[in-house]
A and B are shown apart, each in its own frame.
Chain A
Amino acid sequence: MAGCLGGWMKAKRFQARSGAARPWAFGVLVCGVAAQGWASETAGGAEEKAPPARGAPPGVPLIVPLAPPESLPVVGADASTLEFVFFEPERRDREFDLMVRSQFEAHGTSGPGRGASFLDSGEHWLNELDVNLRSNLGNGWQANVDSIVRHTNSRRHDPRDFSVQRLRLTFEDERHRISLGDYYASLSQFSLNRSIKGVAYQHSFGGEQYLRVTGGSFTPRWDHLHSRKSDRPIDSHVGGLRYQTAGDNYRVGLNFVAARDRSGDSVRTVEDTHRQWLPALDWSYRSHSGLQFSGEHAYASTRREQVDGSSMRLRGDAHRLAARGRLGRLGVRSRFERIDPDFLTMGGGAANDRMRYNLRTDYRLDQTWSVFAAYDWQRNNLDGDLAGTTRSQIPELGFTARGLFDRRNFTASSSLRRRMVESGGLIDRREHSDRIMMSLQDRFGEVSVRGEVEWLLNRQRSPQRDRFDDQLYRLVIDSRHLLAQGRFDLRPFLTLERQETEDPFSGETIRTHAARLDLRLLAPSDLAYGLSLEAGHTDNDVPGADNTKPRRANANLEYRPPVLRGGHLRLEAGYGDFSFSDKQRNYRERYFQMLVQLPFDNRN
């Protein structure tokens, strides 16, 4: 598989090409990338190749029909396919990729209220070195080292000046995989589903059948392993194993996890500590009708040592069941979950003391119209220990119409959703909120337009006002224009928004108007220019509240000169003016940002 290629830069290129996202003042800092992939074998049984079809025009890849499978594989978020990193056949025995990434930001703030600025005055550096080394060890074994080292002078980016963000070493062949360092320990949702620092071994028995064993620390940072700094979380360790077996259309996983917090951790003395063991069984099955069922059943036994010296034993179980699929025109998604109040998971994910079921169905009436209905219900206080129980329901109905009036891109949709919450016990609280949403969108040549209207009608029984309503109106215009025989690509994006919100305490109205214009021009020679303008105004009738008037602007330039061989340069400058009716709160912001990203490898 391909190796380390600049994450942030490529994400930006990807974004620019696909037009999937708008330019923004700050980028997401994604560091280099180690090759990941999975050599999963086709789970749909042996797929023998039929003779290739003929007739594909030049440039179009040949579609090769395969023998029809007997069943389809189980897929989705629970599909824990194997993850092996293999070299591409043409690759060398030893390869490396380096990515040097450097970002400089200068922030300036002024005005009497500058203390409230989002920016921190001064200069901020962020430098990262991303190293990925791969080596063929012979006999089918490969080694991979993957690390990111960071230096920064800014606490906006990291609590430490120098840090190791990622460090991972893997050895693998077709059946075995050994990982050391940063590892995403993914056993099952309830048992273990978290990044750890430690060791892992996976043995593949073929297909999707494997044994995975892992152990390590939950600590999120490498320096926590040896530092006594106060921001270090409680010292926690985990060990776990998973055995998975699978057939053509089913998969079953057996999981066992043991985890413990270190008692008497000197850094975290005011937190309870826990020791637990947790077995879990997860499964999924794809029926011949096309519906896919999945579930998990877990039990946790936890000993809690409280800071006052006492201890208690908590035992609880957790279950989840889900079904999804499409039957002709009918789509169904359904989920049930019950988490015991005493079910704690130190490495998995679950909101305890919950019973919830959720169902969503959609039905395509014809080529134009489709409707959907959804319903979510949940409650807590499953063992009745609490004085009151909170129940909530969210029913929703809606429709979508595509291609009305013989316009292929015309889409109209609307939905009505009610959220009802009832809390019993000492505080009797009942409230419901109706959300009515309507959306229309269409495309006129190179311009697409989307209008949205949303009302939120809130009713509640509380000491404050019992009804207050909010409205939101939004218009989005997005377009793309090719200029100078396609050499320039101009992409304007305009958003206009008006919102009226009623304050539940005073009943006064708050009106917000906002406008945002983004312009992006893609020019020859891998140059891209961006301009973003944003203005807003809030009229707040609530006594004592301020009216506000923010203005922001930024311009940016991205350039990929050939001399950088895939490298990237980005410059951005921005200005913001934030005015309030109380002049003492006014402030202004200025910033400048420069990003350079330089890749190196030994392939050329």
Chain B
Amino acid sequence: MTNHDCLSLPLWRRGHFLGLLLVLLATLPLVATAQWWRFGTDAGEPVFTDLLFNQIPALDAERKLELSRDDLESGRVIVRGRAEIGEGRIGRVEASLDAGVTWIEIPFNERGLFAFEFAPELDRLYPFRIRALSTTGVSSNELDHALDLTVARFSARDMVALAFEQLIQRYAARDQSGFMGGVADDFVGNAQALDSALSNDFRIFDAIRIQPTIRRITGQGGRYQVNFQFERQVRSVRSGELFRDRATSSMIFVRGPEGYLLHEMAAPLIFGLSDAAELATFAEAESTGAEVIHVDADGGIDKRPLGAPRQPSAPAPNGLAITNLRVVAADDILLTFRFDFPRDIDEEAERLGLNDEEYDELFFRIEVLLEMASEESGPWTQIDRDQVWDKRIGNVDRAPGTRFYRARAFDRLTGEFGPYSNVVRFP
């Protein structure tokens, strides 16, 4: 099977089918109670299916649970939960704060719900254990919910700031699994899409340096928004070119078992740039128009003004200006250039509802003319022309030695030329 063959199946049909199947699987639990798949082959072993420390879900916490003083309810931790069993009955629920040296019996009701409380000291570690026993004496695994519990003296805002700092450190260190440990399961831009975008980010650039300055942290109801200014530099893996930008952005954090977790990101993004359109769910208005690092669909890096949160409909001041001309690929024989152009031919065609003939007319109307010189001061010779629609000039014959390149657009209908682009020196 060729690469193209394996891509030729109707993707949307496969998507719907697989999605429907998975949704059906997800709804099965709603109509069943204690099936084999809930308890596996150990149906006689009790399990905990809910565990809350005040408002913090801790069922899936792994070994650590860190609360802040703001998480306490009148100085107390109230633990609520549920123990269930597939076959038989729950006979006993016990909890310990000293790694199982002392167990305290906790009353529970017919549905396995229970609650207890304690008043912890700040900054002290409590090796928490909880277990349920069936009436036949089978115990749940204590290690499933063995948590080192601490209540830090710090405020929720301190913990949010720490979570923010750790995300930046892990991103700069390209520690993807560590980074995703700081992301909420219900991340609004979709955690799986963010994970996938990080994989691409780390292939596209390295030597990541981010210096944030937090402006303020505001919060309500377990959510905190961090507003910050950042100074950033990344290096393109492919070209070795350094890119640097400065802007303001925001992130929203929510409470997780081990601190605060990333829940939402604003544009401009500092994480997941290779899928920015999917991951940013709002825009930081102050950064509108700021030149920020942008990653295109081919993994090319450049700097572009951040679009308005709601796109302006006005035409660009000069509709024929070619900017940011750059070499994106080269071998011994050929060069490929990319550039920025304020008009998008396909978008215009879509907006105007052009038919094929009208589209062709628009497609061939505006050209890009590429010129080359041996010296930056000229003289310049036109060496190629192409349509602007894909903002790319490919298969340009490479001349030996160092050469200078520039481009400008030409409207065949009006005979108007655009201004010259920046000059590119290559190699």
Convert A10-48 into 0s and 1s, putting 1 for each residue whose CB lies closer than 8 angstroms to a CB of B. 110011001011101011111101111111101010010
Question: Would A387 and B162 count as touching, CB distance under 8 A?
Answer: no
B residues within 8 A CB of A543?
A: 330-332, 427
A234 at the interface (CB under 8 A from B): yes
Question: Would A546 and B107 count as touching, CB distance under 8 A?
Answer: no
A183 to B224, CA, bound (A): 11
Question: Nearest A residue to B106 by beta-carbon distance?
Answer: A65
A2 at the interface (CB under 8 A from B): yes
B422 at the interface (CB under 8 A from A): no
Convert B132-165 into 0s and 1s, putting 1 for each residue whose CB lies closer than 8 angstroms to a CB of A. 0000000001010000000011111111011011
Residue from A68, A166, A186, A351 within 8 A of B189 (CB atoms): A351
A333 at the interface (CB under 8 A from B): yes
The segment from A150-158, A522-530, A554-562 that touches chain B is: A150-158
Separation in Å of the B47 CB from the closest CB of chain A? 6
A residues within 8 A CB of B376?
A: none
A430 at the interface (CB under 8 A from B): yes
A536 at the interface (CB under 8 A from B): yes
Question: Would A33 and B192 count as touching, CB distance under 8 A?
Answer: no
Kindly list the 4 A-B residue pairs having the minimum CB-CB distance in the complex, ordered from nearest. A505-B329, A328-B38, A233-B285, A30-B161
Question: Would A375 and B18 count as touching, CB distance under 8 A?
Answer: yes
| Other A-B pairs, 6, CB within 8 Å; known A79-B221, A218-B285, A351-B277 | A11-B161, A36-B155, A63-B117, A373-B22, A426-B346, A501-B203
Q: Is the interface of B mostly helix, strand, loop or mixed?
A: mixed
B residues within 8 A CB of A540?
A: 238-240
Separation in Å of the B261 CB from the closest CB of chain A? 9
Residue from B82, B203, B206, B336 within 8 A of A456 (CB atoms): B203
Interface residues of A in 34-79 (CB under 8 A from B): 34-40, 42, 44, 47, 50, 53, 55-57, 60-73, 75-77, 79
Question: Would A75 and B107 count as touching, CB distance under 8 A?
Answer: no
Question: Would B117 and A439 count as touching, CB distance under 8 A?
Answer: no
Question: Would B59 and A72 count as touching, CB distance under 8 A?
Answer: no
With A396-B192, A456-B203 in contact, do A329 and B184 touch (Cβ < 8 Å)? no
Question: Would B7 and A461 count as touching, CB distance under 8 A?
Answer: yes
B residues within 8 A CB of A123?
A: none
Question: Would B102 and A81 count as touching, CB distance under 8 A?
Answer: no
B361 at the interface (CB under 8 A from A): no
A330 to B34, CA, bound (A): 11
The segment from B166-174, B365-373, B377-385 that touches chain A is: B166-174
Interface size for A (C-beta < 8 A) is 198
With A324-B186, A505-B329 in contact, do A361 and B25 touch (Cβ < 8 Å)? yes
A residues within 8 A CB of B413?
A: none
A499 to B312, CA, bound (A): 41
Convert B214-237 into 0s and 1s, putting 1 for each residue whose CB lies closer than 8 angstroms to a CB of A. 111111111111010101010101
A542 to B299, CA, bound (A): 15
Convert B92-124 into 0s and 1s, putting 1 for each residue whose CB lies closer than 8 angstroms to a CB of A. 000111100110111111010111111111000
Question: Would A329 and B80 count as touching, CB distance under 8 A?
Answer: no
Question: Would B222 and A344 count as touching, CB distance under 8 A?
Answer: no
Question: Would B117 and A270 count as touching, CB distance under 8 A?
Answer: no
Can you list 6 residue pairs at the A/B interface with Cβ under 8 Å? A20-B166, A60-B97, A66-B78, A68-B113, A325-B29, A328-B37
Question: Would B156 and A335 count as touching, CB distance under 8 A?
Answer: no
A5 to B122, CA, bound (A): 15
A272 at the interface (CB under 8 A from B): yes
The segment from A136-144, A466-474, A483-491 that touches chain B is: A466-474
B244 at the interface (CB under 8 A from A): yes
A366 to B141, CA, bound (A): 11
B70 at the interface (CB under 8 A from A): yes
Question: Would A65 and B105 count as touching, CB distance under 8 A?
Answer: yes
Convert B191-214 into 0s and 1s, putting 1 for each residue whose CB lies closer than 8 angstroms to a CB of A. 011011001101100110101111
Question: Nearest A residue to B103 by beta-carbon distance?
Answer: A55
Question: Would B155 and A5 count as touching, CB distance under 8 A?
Answer: yes
B residues within 8 A CB of A183?
A: 218
A95 at the interface (CB under 8 A from B): no
Question: Would A36 and B70 count as touching, CB distance under 8 A?
Answer: yes
Of A63, A81, A345, most buried by chain B (CB within 10 Å of CB) is A63
Question: Would B40 and A329 count as touching, CB distance under 8 A?
Answer: yes
A residues within 8 A CB of B214?
A: 28-31
Convert B34-67 into 0s and 1s, putting 1 for each residue whose CB lies closer than 8 angstroms to a CB of A. 1001111110000101101001110110000010
Interface residues of A in 345-367 (CB under 8 A from B): 345, 348-351, 356-361, 363-367
Separation in Å of the A93 CB from the closest CB of chain B? 20
A182 at the interface (CB under 8 A from B): yes
Question: Would B26 and A361 count as touching, CB distance under 8 A?
Answer: yes
A510 at the interface (CB under 8 A from B): yes
Question: Would B177 and A452 count as touching, CB distance under 8 A?
Answer: yes
Question: Nearest A residue to B308 by beta-carbon distance?
Answer: A271
With A36-B70, A77-B222, A536-B207 in contact, do A270 and B38 touch (Cβ < 8 Å)? no
B86 at the interface (CB under 8 A from A): yes
B residues within 8 A CB of A462?
A: 298
Residue from B172, B192, B231, B238 within 8 A of A358 (CB atoms): B192
Question: Would B312 and A270 count as touching, CB distance under 8 A?
Answer: yes
Residue from A2, A329, A427, A433 within 8 A of B69 (CB atoms): A2
Convert B322-365 into 0s and 1s, putting 1 for each residue whose CB lies closer than 8 angstroms to a CB of A. 00000111111000100000000010011000000001000000
Question: Would B152 and A14 count as touching, CB distance under 8 A?
Answer: yes
A residues within 8 A CB of B169?
A: 21-22, 24
A82 at the interface (CB under 8 A from B): yes
Residue from A11, A118, A464 within 8 A of B162 (CB atoms): A11
A376 to B244, CA, bound (A): 33
Question: Nearest A residue to B64 by beta-carbon distance?
Answer: A18
B residues within 8 A CB of A75?
A: 52, 55-57
Question: Would B233 and A118 count as touching, CB distance under 8 A?
Answer: yes
With A36-B70, A349-B188 in contact, do A193 and B350 touch (Cβ < 8 Å)? no
Question: Would A326 and B192 count as touching, CB distance under 8 A?
Answer: no
A359 to B250, CA, bound (A): 27
Of B25, B114, B238, most buried by chain A (CB within 10 Å of CB) is B238
B residues within 8 A CB of A466?
A: 3-4
A residues within 8 A CB of B185?
A: 324, 333, 360
A7 to B160, CA, bound (A): 10
Question: Nearest A residue to B281 by beta-carbon distance?
Answer: A349
A603 to B190, CA, bound (A): 46
Residue from B69, B108, B116, B216 within 8 A of A195 (CB atoms): B216
Convert A480-516 into 0s and 1s, putting 1 for each residue whose CB lies closer than 8 angstroms to a CB of B. 0000000000000001010101011110001010101
B residues within 8 A CB of A304?
A: 310
